[in-house]
Amino acid sequence: MLDLRFSDAELARRRDHITTFIREQVETAGAEGAVLGLSGGIDSTLTAYLTVDALGTERVHGLVLPAHVSSDDNMSDAERVAQNLEISYDVIEIEPIVDSLLQAYPEAEGDREAVGNARARVRAVLNYLVANHENRLVVGTGNRSEAAVGYFTKYGDGAVDCHPIGNLYKGQVRQLARHVGVPEDLAAKTATAELWADQTDEEELGVSYETLDSILAAHVDGPLSVAATARLLEIDEETVATVRGMYERSEHKRSVPPAPEPLE
């Protein structure tokens, strides 16, 4: 696999670059601060650390938004992050809201993907409810790897005002997290979106993050062909082509919704 790790100097530069970006986003919008969802995972944890670094504790508000599929360990970790950073936070159970959606449209009951995405969208609505009320921006927690293959919910966790770690591959997220002082058990924990029970990101993606990062860097973001990437990484071409297909099929999730070309 490719070595995508940053040097110590580059880690410091990335930290400064991201915290400056967060401050500029908030100041340009005339906002009072930031709201972000805390899942207990590494992406939201790193984003929280960087946002506090950029704005200070008083200007950051965390939301812990458990559903019945959320593990107690992850929700406990989410609260631990808020407490360690000394930021204000609220815990809001989202399952009653999801249940009300299914009462309105019971045909979706049992559709794991549809209901899982509904949970992500309910969280987005709550993020913006709090952000609008407090004149804050919603800070996203998505990384470069997941964005590239569409591994996020459109108008769910993708519905944010900015993506501070959006240029970092997943392995780089873990590396920067360690650099800024995130506890090792959080930096190393298994990634899961927890949209349904016992879900893990790598199992759903069908590829490890190490392999995904390398394919993206060499082929999707880089110049190498499918065949050359497979040779370089010593993997089969089908895996590279699968990732390429995920990237192409998810383009609509990374773009502004299209409209017809104007008539002349």
* Measured distance CA(98)–CA(140) in Å, rounded: 22
Question: How many CA atoms within 13 Å lie on the side-chain side of 227?
Answer: 0
H/E stretch holding 177: helix 170-180
pLDDT of residue 260: 85
Whole-prediction pTM value?
0.95
Burial (Cβ within 10 Å: 0-12, 13-18, ≥19) of residue 136: buried
Q: How far is residue 201's CA from residue 194's CA, in Å, rounded to a whole number?
A: 9
Interatomic CA distance for residues 212 and 209, integer angstroms: 5
Q: What is the pLDDT of residues 209-231, one digit of tens each?
A: 999 999 999 999 999 999 999 99
pLDDT for position 192: 79
Vertex 14: Cα angle to 9 and 18 (nearest 5): 155
- The pLDDT of residue 196 is 67
Distance CA 94, CA 89 (A): 15
* Chain segment 33-52, per-residue pLDDT in tens: 999 999 999 999 999 999 99
253, β-bridge pairs: none
> Domain 8-196 class?
alpha beta
CB 50 within 8 A of CB 17: no
All structural domains of the chain with their residue ranges = 8-196, 206-253
Query: pLDDT truncated to tens, each residue of the chain (264 aa)?
Result: 999 999 999 999 999 999 999 999 999 999 999 999 999 999 999 999 999 999 999 999 999 999 988 889 999 999 999 999 999 999 999 999 999 999 999 999 999 999 999 999 999 999 999 999 999 999 999 999 999 999 999 999 999 999 999 999 999 999 999 999 999 999 999 887 766 676 778 888 999 999 999 999 999 999 999 999 999 999 999 999 999 999 999 999 999 888 889 998
Determine the pLDDT at residue 264. 80
